[in-house]
Structure 1
């Protein structure tokens, strides 16, 4: 296992204009003294992706870091077919970008909760989307890591259900320890449940808002 730092860790600073992509990599490089070996980049932070990619790769290499994982924010929980198809097309682009970055692990989501819908209502859309994406990812030798994100497919049993239904070796789990708290599940129990399926771990915690 390699210890890496996610750019999402500094999202507040990014939104405040205090740090950008290059600044984050500089920050991560400084953390090598504390054991950091790599970084996680997210599609959320690109400003001009095609122009930034070669610069980012050079900076990461010069810093002696590894680009460990690339993450996208797909949402297959889409009642409208056209919206679902757009999500799949964008997610396939994410696979292609991961390949350009030389990354073999792509973090993905199931989808976001929608008013009036339960997990069971959108399960077929999620499975169909991730199955198509996994098939596409296999061509690039990219492994998808499904995160227990938000309130939709946020429990370990739901993540397992989706992975089992897709049935592809290209789809594994991203264990996010903090997110289990959002759905009232003990993170230790959940992590143990998903450990055999894990391709990626997000180690984080939450502080209750005052």
Structure 2
């Protein structure tokens, strides 16, 4: 079809309004009766549509601690690299490194670990160290401060944003098996009080905070044993120190009484969550944990961080860890 020439224009088509016409049109719309825009109002989204269109809450990412493959068993101490490979094969999103499992702390080794995780599509999301500040001897406490700062720097070199730290315990138990038999409770050192212990822990953590801030590594104080055995003990230190670089690592397997109430207490301060499973029966004890209920508690405080599996059962890790991942994926979806 040939285009029409200008003198054959269809006069039934109105020309485009001029700039003045547009202004008049807008002015008319503003002064029109309120009944006119009802059709427009009918097409407007309902009041709750904005809420309905909000993106759904994504599930928590699931990691695995290298401890899950070892569990201090003589027959299963794997290297960090081997644990990374197994985590990738199983389908985890990240890996938490247990410091005492590391065999080489050289920078070259750290960078190899970091590259191994990156090429496997895994985050290095947590680092667990062992230390204690519950010593009357100031020199001993300072030794543990130096150790903790060293671990902060290791985490920084690995690109890990948080490390698990402990309060420490009195050390009056014969051994760890005895401590577990007593549900993590042990006598104080003679001549000292819990207040003495909390003061030592506060001093030790405060000495570590400048390094944590410099490296951008949050200290996650775990509900472990000793003075941090309860949510109240952990929260006492977090509140007294009052620093954004000290928060909580919530371990689901370390509250042996009133566990859900204590999860609820600690959840608002959690920057990392360690989730225990016990397939085959626990190494020291077996704790029944309703992970749907745990997930609801964490969702209630908008916890969006990692859930890191700490398998602590007797079953072989080859079968127990995939089952554990399935359990956590379902609960934290």
Q: TM-score, normalised by structure 2?
A: 0.58
> CA shift at 1:142, angstroms?
1.3
1 CA distance for matches of 2:248 and 2:151?
17
Is 1:137 the counterpart of 2:212 in the alignment? Answer: yes
> 1:87 — aligned with what?
144
1 CA distance for matches of 2:215 and 2:77?
35
Q: Pick from 100, 103, 108: which aligns with 1:44?
A: 100
> CA shift at 1:168, angstroms?
0.7
Asked whether the 8 Å contact 2:168–2:226 carries over to 1, the reply is: no
Is 1:29 the counterpart of 2:88 in the alignment? Answer: yes
> 1:167 — aligned with what?
242
- Name which one, 1 or 2, has greater alpha-carbon Rg: 2
Q: Secondary structure at the match of 1:94?
A: helix
Q: Pick from 120, 127, 130: which aligns with 1:73?
A: 130
2 CA distance for matches of 1:204 and 1:119?
28
1 CA distance for matches of 2:71 and 2:217?
29
Is 1:188 the counterpart of 2:244 in the alignment? Answer: no
> CA shift at 1:2, angstroms?
2.1
Moved more, 10-19 or 107-116: 10-19
> CA shift at 1:166, angstroms?
1.1
Gaps of 5+ in 1: none
> CA shift at 1:13, angstroms?
6.8
> 2:41 — aligned with what?
none
Report which structure shows greater RCO (CA 8 Å, sep ≥6): 2
Gaps of 5+ in 2: 1-59, 173-187, 287-333
Asked whether the 8 Å contact 1:3–1:37 carries over to 2, the reply is: yes
Moved more, 105-114 or 17-26: 17-26
> 1:109 — aligned with what?
166
Counting matched residue pairs gives 203
Asked whether the 8 Å contact 1:104–1:143 carries over to 2, the reply is: yes
2 CA distance for matches of 1:18 and 1:173?
28
Q: TM-score, normalised by structure 1?
A: 0.90
> CA shift at 1:12, angstroms?
3.3
Is 1:11 the counterpart of 2:11 in the alignment? Answer: no
Asked whether the 8 Å contact 1:131–1:168 carries over to 2, the reply is: no
> CA shift at 1:17, angstroms?
4.5
Residues 83-125 of structure 1 show CA distances to partners (whole Å, capped at 9, x for unaligned) of: 1111001111111111101111111111123323353331100
Asked whether the 8 Å contact 1:111–1:152 carries over to 2, the reply is: yes
Q: Pick from 79, 82, 85: which aligns with 1:20?
A: 79
More helix by share: 1
